[in-house]
Structure formats: structure tokens, C-alpha cells
């Protein structure tokens, strides 16, 4: 997004960091947003806008920046994570399922499945 992003609940407040586009999700402009965070750019917009932010483990989601001219600093490569911002946990889960797909340009990504091993009895989770 370009320009100032306002908080969905109070225009005098911040929408929450560099991933403030989560505010657009909160008001229904789009179903999901992509957050990239070292210092809270997934969690803070979720908190400030009353939406779901899923900060996943390092290297779970491939990261590749087409607009970046050179290599990222080592601190960013060691700590930055990608994650979905959505209005519901179900939408965040669907976004995560797409975001974890491999990308040959995202060389720091671990190719690991979302589903764990089978369990003897089903676990029921309401989303």
C-alpha cells in the first residue's frame, strides 16, 4: 500500500507497522494480506486491527523479493518470517496452505509438510 494506512477502529491510531495493510483486510477490501516481520509486522497489525495474524516458524514460507536489488542483510535472513493476515483463522489457514508451497527463488525455505503424522484417534478443531 502507498501512503498512510489508518486503523480500522480509530483513524487517530496506527494500523500497526509495515504490514498495516492488515487494516484493508479488516474492512473487507481483500480477504488476506501478506505480512513480513522481524519486529512484529505480522502480529502487531493483527492486534491493532482485530484480525488473525499467523507468524510461522523461520523458513516455513519462501521469501523472495523481486524489488530488492541485492542480498538481504544477514540479520534479515536470520530473523524475517512471512505470514498471512486474515479476518478468520480459516482464511489464515487457507492462505498458509498456498504460501508454504515451494519457490525455487526462495532458497531459505525448508520443504516441510503442513500435516503431521497420522494419529490413532481424530483430533477435532473448530475453525
Catalytic residues: 18, 41
**Which string of DSSP letters, residue by residue, matches 39-54?**
SSTTHHHHHHHT-EE-
Encode burial over 61-99: b for 16+ CB neighbours within 10 A, e otherwise.
Answer: bbbeeeeeeeeeeeeeeeebbbbbbbbeeebbbbbbeeb
Amino acid at each position: 500500500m502507498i501512503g498512510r494506512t489508518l486503523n480500522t477502529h480509530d483513524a487517530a491510531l496506527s494500523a500497526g507497522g509495515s504490514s498495516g495493510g492488515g487494516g484493508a483486510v479488516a474492512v473487507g477490501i481483500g480477504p488476506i494480506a501478506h505480512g513480513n516481520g522481524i519486529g512484529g509486522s505480522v502480529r502487531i497489525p493483527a492486534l491493532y486491527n482485530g484480525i488473525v495474524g499467523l507468524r510461522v516458524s523461520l523458513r516455513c514460507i519462501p521469501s523472495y523479493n523481486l524489488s530488492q536489488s541485492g542480498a538481504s542483510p544477514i540479520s534479515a535472513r536470520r530473523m524475517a518470517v512471512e505470514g498471512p493476515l486474515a479476518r478468520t483463522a480459516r482464511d489464515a489457514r487457507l492462505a498458509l496452505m498456498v504460501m508454504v508451497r515451494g519457490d525455487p527463488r526462495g532458497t531459505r525455505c525448508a520443504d516441510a509438510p503442513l500435516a503431521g503424522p497420522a494419529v490413532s484417534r481424530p483430533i477435532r478443531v473448530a475453525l
